[in-house]
Amino acid sequence: MSTMRLPRPRQVLAACAAALACSAGAQDLERHALRVCQDPNNLPFSDTAAEGIENKLAELFGKQLGLPVTYYSFPERFNFVRNTLKYKLPGDDYPCDIMMGVPVGFDQVSVTKPYYRSTYALVIPQGHGMDAVHSGEDFLHLDPALLRRLRIGIYDRSPASAWLARHGLVDSGVPYHILSADPSQYPGQIIENDLAAGKIDVAIVWGPIAGFYAKRVKSPRLVVVPLHSEPGVKFDYAMAMGVRYGEQAWKARVEKFIDDNQAPIEAILKEYGVPLVDKSYASSRP
């Protein structure tokens, strides 16, 4: 029986494609540094002093790769991905190769498996009539007169906005811009400045922001109350890392890092006060 052969032009094309694939795979893993895309002023996630959660994760990853960690900083406003992970001038290399924190489902990058899940949370000062609040349900069942008086700080277009609308508390909301053109603005200001100073009575923010700044503010004492998702309001999200599309070998290496380091990753998250939840949090309510 004769062996079936591809016509010669197709053999050449197939060989070229295989060679390119191998070359791309090799290049995928040729790293001289762990080059991280980051926001320079975005604690608790990242900053130029490498004090954030994602900086600590990058240091852990870099150590395991045996590579120095470098950062390419750009404010996380509009077009962050285009100006970092996808930014490439003719003849130059990309300035960074990984984003340390992206939500699962984010379609502008190739998203790895998740490494944590958190949820939005209430941040409540003690001694202001809300000490018995341990859940979103408790908060909604506060004395109606007190509830109407509260100034609830939220970021606009966040799940907190939908939650207030669902429970008839729109008039109590004090909206903050989720994106600001001011590079000195950072997400924890709502807690560290306004909640601590009494300009608002309660804040509802993403869990890592809530946990970090509640620990950082010494007076008044702040308590973090994680919120459960409800029909029509999703509070909890799984977070992953992001790489460029097509870099499969690099993505696999990042996912191996996630698989092999669950305990130290969780330790870093807990050190920063991140409220960690599992998938059941999405559908269960207290």
* 107 and 122, same domain (yes or no): no
Give me the amino acid identity at 175.
P
Residue reference for tokens 């130290």: 264
Question: pLDDT value at position 283?
Answer: 55
Question: pLDDT value at position 282?
Answer: 62
* 241 and 219, same domain (yes or no): no
**Considering the domain boundaries, does residue 25 fall inside one?**
no
Interval 208-222 mean pLDDT = 96
**Considering the domain boundaries, does residue 84 fall inside one?**
yes
* 127 and 219, same domain (yes or no): yes
Taking only Cα atoms into account, the Rg of the chain, rounded to an integer number of angstroms, comes to 23
**Considering the domain boundaries, does residue 13 fall inside one?**
no
Q: Report yes or no: 189 and 158 within 8 Å, Cβ to Cβ.
A: no
Residue that wins the pLDDT comparison between 1 and 57: 57
* 197 and 247, same domain (yes or no): no
Phi, psi dihedral angles at 60 (to 5 degrees): -60, -45
97 burial class (0-12, 13-18, 19+ CB within 10 angstroms)? buried
Question: pLDDT value at position 285?
Answer: 52
> Which CATH number does the domain housing residue 255 bear?
3.40.190.10
Check whether 46 has a pLDDT greater than 50: yes
Question: pLDDT value at position 8?
Answer: 39
Q: Report yes or no: 104 and 236 within 8 Å, Cβ to Cβ.
A: no
124 forms beta bridges with 223
Residue reference for tokens 């002023």: 41
Residue reference for tokens 């300035």: 95
Interval 198-214 mean pLDDT = 98
Check whether 170 has a pLDDT greater than 50: yes
Check whether 28 has a pLDDT greater than 70: no
User: Which pairing describes strands 98-103 and 236-243: parallel, antiparallel, or unpaired?
Assistant: antiparallel
Structural domain including 196 reads: 117-226
Question: pLDDT value at position 184?
Answer: 83
Residue that wins the pLDDT comparison between 200 and 16: 200
Question: pLDDT value at position 250?
Answer: 97
Closest by CA position to 227, among listed 116, 152, 96, 133: 133
Residue reference for tokens 């997400």: 187
Closest by CA position to 124, among listed 104, 107, 102, 147: 147
Question: pLDDT value at position 1?
Answer: 41
**Considering the domain boundaries, does residue 19 fall inside one?**
no
**pLDDT tens string 98-157:** 999 999 999 999 999 999 999 999 999 999 999 999 999 999 999 999 999 999 999 998
Residue 23 confidence class, pLDDT cut points 50, 70, 90: very low
Q: Over 103-160, what HEC string results?
A: ECCCCCCEECCCCEEEEEEEEEECCCCCCCCCCHHHHHCCCHHHHHHCCEEEECCCHH
Domains in the chain, number: 2
* 219 and 248, same domain (yes or no): no
Q: How far apart are CA 162 and CA 182, in angstroms?
A: 26
* 156 and 200, same domain (yes or no): yes
Check whether 14 has a pLDDT greater than 50: no
For residue 13, give Cα distances in angstroms to 7, 22, 104, 108, 226.
Answer: 10, 14, 36, 30, 56
pTM of structure: 0.87
* 214 and 189, same domain (yes or no): yes
**Considering the domain boundaries, does residue 182 fall inside one?**
yes
Interval 185-193 mean pLDDT = 93
Residue 183 confidence class, pLDDT cut points 50, 70, 90: confident
Check whether 13 has a pLDDT greater than 80: no
Q: How far apart are CA 256 and CA 72, in angstroms?
A: 23
